[in-house]
Amino acid sequence: MWYVHWSVTSHRWSNHPSSLQLLRRRLPPRKATGRTIDFTQLKNVAFCVYTLACVIAFLGLYTIFTFIATYATQRGISASTAYDLVAIGNASSLIGRVITGLLGDKLGPLNVMIPFTLLAGALTYGKCSL
């Protein structure tokens, strides 16, 4: 499983202290004006509803990746193939991310995100009933 070794190696290198020597600031640091966390946006109802909807959507989207290996082994698929399904699902999501990104540029991000999130939710619940 060369891809596991490569990902662990690259992750270790990216967190290595010497890699911080290669970073430069693009802009000068901003001066702090006020508190660290700005709670005034929580008064905006549209922002709160959108944030809550995004949290629920991402919880629903990534639930399938969490339980797909367990579900596959319960359905009789071998353990090695079941755990490969997570990698296959992540790799195939690259296509969906590119296509929805291009559609989002043409149609608008919410006009693409809402129907595809509903479709993903319907497919997830449909898969749970099998």
Distance CA 8, CA 124 (A): 30
Please, what is the average pLDDT of the chain? Answer: 80
The domain containing residue 117 runs over which residues? 40-130
| Amino acid identity for residue 62 in this structure | Y
Whether 12 is in a domain gets the answer no
Whether 51 is in a domain gets the answer yes
pLDDT at 128 > cutoff 70: no
The 10s digit of each residue's pLDDT in 61-119 is 777 788 888 888 999 999 889 889 888 888 888 888 899 899 999 999 989 988 988 88
Whether 9 is in a domain gets the answer no
pTM over 0.75, yes/no: no
Whether 28 is in a domain gets the answer no
pLDDT at 44 > cutoff 90: yes
Of the candidates 67, 103, 101, 61, the one whose C-alpha atom is nearest the C-alpha of residue 82 is: 67
Give the N- to C-terminal CA distance of the chain in Å, as an integer: 31
pLDDT for 19 equals: 65
Q: How many independent structural domains does the chain possess? A: 1
pLDDT at 121 > cutoff 80: no
